[in-house]
């Protein structure tokens, strides 16, 4: 059984070790998307993920999909795009639009888990300085990007989009290549996907991820 968050205390989460094995990582339901609760969740290795019409669901999967910045895989096609320098990378100049583009229906996924409530919640986190966007621009148009939440030395990626082929990869490449200079040691990808694996992500036991997270908060 999963826990129901009935307490008003934003940090009233059960220990991630209590998460279900099937579906992998489902830990709790309920609560709200206030900045205090979201930050308390991320600092415990927990994130919200649910569909429209559902209660808010909170997850902490085991294993956790992560990307070490130094292991980011640059394919030949991506190398060519980086060398051509046709795109401009900007940080936090159009966070709202990045989230809106990430929430837009896609050919293989007509629905979205980024509900209006989720968009408003992450915009508030951005206004407070905790959520950030990496944007790819071409000729004054936003053509790709990603957004996520920074927790200490870990960047928790939430979603990315491409309006031109490969532009979300350019955003992730910039995050990986500037990680050392900005104090980011690990990129949290949350869940495995073929796309992320092609870019160098790997599975990490939840206990190890939580250890790194705690160390990164100090």
In order along the chain (218 residues), what is the average pLDDT of each group of 10 residues?
88 96 97 97 97 94 98 82 80 98 75 87 98 96 97 97 91 95 97 94 98 94
- What per-residue confidence (pLDDT) applies to 55? 94
> Contact, 19 vs 27, CB < 8 A?
yes
Residues 6+ apart with CB under 8 A from 213: 43, 44, 45, 151, 152, 154
- What per-residue confidence (pLDDT) applies to 7? 78
Domains in the chain, please, with CATH? 3-63 (3.30.70.3550), 65-217 (3.40.630.70)
- What per-residue confidence (pLDDT) applies to 1? 84
Sheet architecture: strand order including 47-48: 3-5, 26-30, 57-59, 47-48
End-to-end CA distance of the chain: 32
- What per-residue confidence (pLDDT) applies to 95? 98
- CA-nearest of 171, 63, 172, 162 to 108 is 162
């Amino acid at each position: 059984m999963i826990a129901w968050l009935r307490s008003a205390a934003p940090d009233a989460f059960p220990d991630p070790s209590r998460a279900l094995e099937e579906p992998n990582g489902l830990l709790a339901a309920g609560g709200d998307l206030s900045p205090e609760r979201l930050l308390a969740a991320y600092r415990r290795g927990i994130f919200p993920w649910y569909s429209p019409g559902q209660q808010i669901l909170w997850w902490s999967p085991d294993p956790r999909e992560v990307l070490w910045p130094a292991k980011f895989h640059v394919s030949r096609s991506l190398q060519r795009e980086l060398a051509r320098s046709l795109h401009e990378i900007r940080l936090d100049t159009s966070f709202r639009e990045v989230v809106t583009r990430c929430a837009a229906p896609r050919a293989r996924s007509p629905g979205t888990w980024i509900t209006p409530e989720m968009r408003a919640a992450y915009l508030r986190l951005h206004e407070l300085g905790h959520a950030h966007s990496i944007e790819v621009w071409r000729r004054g148009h936003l053509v790709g990007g990603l957004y996520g939440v920074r927790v200490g030395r870990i960047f928790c990626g939430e979603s990315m989009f491409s309006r031109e082929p490969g532009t979300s990869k350019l955003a992730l490449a910039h995050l990986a290549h500037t990680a050392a200079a900005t104090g980011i040691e690990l990129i949290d990808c949350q869940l495995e996907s073929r796309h992320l694996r092609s870019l160098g992500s790997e599975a990490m036991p939840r206990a190890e991820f939580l250890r790194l997270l705690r160390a990164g908060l100090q």
